């Protein structure tokens, strides 16, 4: 309500829908507590800016070694692929490996739309010229 003596008309307050209560939706994140990487420095799983080449490959290999015998490897990988995690090693896969897996899965789910890559080019046979 405007102050007494104000000439401005009363404007009703905007009402917003209530925030939905999702407390009844159970999200199973318990697998994260059983992961082999729990308590490990996250720098092992995520590359710093500018990391390239053999340094990156060595770090990723070390991270994947931790994942190798993880009891929740499948859950972690499924999470990363479902949530489209864009960075880091998840479920023993790098971001590039997950992107390739996602592309392969999409292509396999749409076999009618698959376009075969072009045949490799070969040099002309000099004996036929």
Chain segment 15-57, per-residue pLDDT in tens? 434 444 444 434 567 899 999 999 999 999 999 999 999 999 9
pTM of the predicted model as reported, rounded to 2 decimal places: 0.61
CB contact at 8 A, 36 and 66 = yes
């Amino acid at each position: 309500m405007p102050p007494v003596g104000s000439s401005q008309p009363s404007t009703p307050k905007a009402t917003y829908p209530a925030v939905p209560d999702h407390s009844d939706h159970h999200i199973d994140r318990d697998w994260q507590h059983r992961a082999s990487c729990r308590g490990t420095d996250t720098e092992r799983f995520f590359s710093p800016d500018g990391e390239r080449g053999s340094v990156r490959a060595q770090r990723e290999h070390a991270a994947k070694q931790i994942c190798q015998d993880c009891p929740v490897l499948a859950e972690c990988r499924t999470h990363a692929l479902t949530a489209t995690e864009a960075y880091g090693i998840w479920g023993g896969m790098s971001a590039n490996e997950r992107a390739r897996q996602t592309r392969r899965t999409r292509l396999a789910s749409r076999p009618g739309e698959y376009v075969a890559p072009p045949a490799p080019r070969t040099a002309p046979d000099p004996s036929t010229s």
